[in-house]
């Protein structure tokens, strides 16, 4: 009898089936939750399975991490209680005198934490303008240990060439870490482009339902550096809990569908509002007019995502629109099934350089015609 052909399954299929999960005991096709905080040992006092104590992880966390590593093409992935706890663990590996680069516009939590390290720990940091050619190269020094890139940057959606950044980082022996929160592995494979570390706020697209907080670091290779971060996670007690890991697994199963729908709707909305008389600009890398469109098209191979920003004609107009939508919900976060609107400068810290006229939109999976009509009515009544 001819042997069946072994299929080379697409990542969308692997995600949808949670790595073809079937419970070996009773056949359930949905992964269960293992909430135990401690795990027994055998007669030789060796762990019966891989788990010992929940502060190191557990079966549900292991399953979620395996899915993430599989989708990222990573040697290993590590889950944390929040995006910030993952960022803190990564930068905790820096020593006094070490140098790190970071875009001047980006996720404000990262920027605020680096400012704290500069003030309290003697870490050196250079914040570069991601819109300027050569700015990243000028920011890197022989003392640079981590080159932090966010692409597209939040909330201006400036695009960085990951492969070019890899060459710059590796030339001085630094690691390239890429914040891909708005570009999950269904559209950008940063590790395959040469990045050493990929970060996600798993709260966002990975989970996609606005019902957990979480962070994930994925690594191209296992190394003592990775072991150090794993040890830091244990010491800080910041491993994701089992229930949140289970919700993350559930969310990952629809990641490819959700991202495709959000990307299609966002592009339609961006095209509709580009040149709108009540707006100064539309910021979306999927528009051919966007300065980073060509690089984004090369790196984002399955849609440009659901994140965009509108620049209103005044701060007052931006505040009005943010509080007068009927479908968009005025709230912080992104990547969920519901569409959100945010007057961004109102929620960022003292180091923010975001335009006061900027409205950040996270496009969900609702009817795109409803979303367009909602923004039109809010803009129509704006000062």
Return mean pLDDT, the chain: 96
* Candidate list 98, 158, 161, 179, residue with the active-site label: 179
Residues contacting 292, CB < 8 A, separation 6+:
152, 157, 158, 159, 160, 285
Instruction: Identify the helix (H) or strand (E) that includes residue 125.
Output: strand 124-128
Fold category of 11-252 in CATH: 3.40.640
pLDDT in tens, 204-256: 999 999 999 999 999 999 999 999 999 999 999 999 999 999 999 999 999 99
**Helix, strand or coil, per DSSP, at residue 362:** strand
* Candidate list 98, 107, 145, 360, residue with the active-site label: 107
Q: Are 219 and 76 in contact (CB under 8 A)?
A: yes
Residue 1's pLDDT is what? 77
Q: Are 12 and 5 in contact (CB under 8 A)?
A: no
Mean pLDDT over 166-177 rounds to 98
Residue 49's pLDDT is what? 87
Confidence check: pLDDT of 383 > 80? yes
Question: Does the annotation mark 230 as catalytic?
Answer: no
pLDDT level of residue 137 (50, 70, 90 thresholds): very high
Q: Nearest 5°: CA angle at 81, between 79 and 86?
A: 60
Mean pLDDT over 151-175 rounds to 97
Residues contacting 202, CB < 8 A, separation 6+:
79, 83, 212, 214, 215, 216, 240, 248
Q: Scan for tokens 């003392």, then name that residue.
A: 143
CATH 3.30.365.10 assigned to domain 256-380? The reply is no
Residue length of the chain: 383
Question: Does the annotation mark 145 as catalytic?
Answer: no
* Candidate list 145, 175, 204, 233, residue with the active-site label: 204
**Helix, strand or coil, per DSSP, at residue 251:** helix
Residues contacting 342, CB < 8 A, separation 6+:
322, 330, 331, 332, 359, 360, 361, 362
Question: Does the annotation mark 158 as catalytic?
Answer: no
Regarding pTM above 0.85, the answer is yes
Chain centroid to CA 205: how far?
7
Q: Scan for tokens 């697209």, then name that residue.
A: 205
Q: Are 358 and 155 in contact (CB under 8 A)?
A: yes
pLDDT level of residue 63 (50, 70, 90 thresholds): very high
Distance CA 54, CA 59 (A): 9
* Candidate list 55, 121, 278, 315, residue with the active-site label: 55
Looking at the chain, the number of H-run helices and the number of E-run strands are: 12, 12
Residue 4's pLDDT is what? 83
pLDDT level of residue 5 (50, 70, 90 thresholds): confident
Q: Are 23 and 36 in contact (CB under 8 A)?
A: no
Residue 140's pLDDT is what? 98
Residue 348's pLDDT is what? 81
Residue 50's pLDDT is what? 87
Do 11-252 and 256-380 show the same overall fold? Answer: no
Tell me the domain boundaries of the chain: 11-252, 256-380
Distance CA 64, CA 181 (A): 17
To 10 degrees, the CA torsion angle through 292, 316, 335, 32? 160
Residue 297's pLDDT is what? 98
Question: Does the annotation mark 107 as catalytic?
Answer: yes
């Amino acid at each position: 009898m001819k042997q069946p052909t072994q299929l080379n399954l697409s990542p969308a299929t692997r995600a949808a089936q949670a790595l073809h999960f079937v419970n070996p005991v009773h056949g359930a096709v949905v992964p269960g939750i293992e909430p135990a905080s401690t795990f027994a040992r055998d007669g030789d006092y060796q762990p019966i399975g891989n788990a010992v104590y929940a502060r190191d992880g557990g079966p549900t966390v292991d399953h979620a991490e395996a899915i993430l590593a599989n989708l990222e093409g990573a040697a290993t992935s590590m889950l944390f209680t929040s995006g910030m706890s993952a960022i803190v663990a990564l930068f905790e590996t820096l020593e006094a005198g070490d140098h790190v680069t970071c875009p001047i516009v980006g996720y404000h939590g990262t920027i605020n934490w680096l400012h704290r390290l500069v003030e309290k720990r003697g870490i050196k940091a250079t914040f570069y303008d991601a819109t300027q050619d050569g700015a990243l190269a000028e920011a890197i020094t022989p003392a640079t240990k981590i080159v932090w890139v966010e692409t597209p940057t939040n909330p201006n959606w400036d695009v960085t060439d990951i492969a070019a950044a890899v060459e710059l980082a590796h030339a001085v022996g630094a690691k390239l870490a890429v914040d891909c929160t708005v570009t999950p592995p269904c559209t950008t494979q940063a590790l395959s482009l040469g990045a050493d570390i990929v970060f996600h706020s798993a709260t966002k697209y990975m989970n996609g339902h606005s019902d957990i907080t979480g962070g994930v670091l994925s690594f191209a290779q296992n190394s003592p550096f990775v072991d150090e971060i794993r040890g830091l996670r244990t010491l800080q007690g910041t491993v994701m809990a089992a229930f949140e890991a289970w919700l993350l697994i559930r969310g990952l199963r629809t990641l490819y569908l959700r991202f495709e729908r959000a990307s299609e709707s966002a592009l339609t909305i961006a095209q509709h509002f580009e040149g709108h008389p009540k707006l100064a600009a539309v910021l979306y890398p999927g528009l051919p007019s966007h300065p980073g469109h060509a690089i984004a098209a090369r790196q984002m191979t399955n849609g440009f995502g659901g994140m965009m920003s509108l620049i209103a004609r005044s701060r007052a107009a931006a505040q009005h629109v943010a509080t007068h939508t009927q479908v968009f919900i005025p709230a912080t976060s992104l990547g969920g099934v519901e569409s959100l609107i945010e007057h961004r400068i109102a929620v960022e810290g003292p180091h923010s350089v975001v335009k006061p006229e900027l409205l950040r939109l996270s496009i969900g999976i609702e009817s795109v015609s409803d979303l367009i009509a909602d923004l039109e009515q809010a803009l129509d009544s704006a000062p």
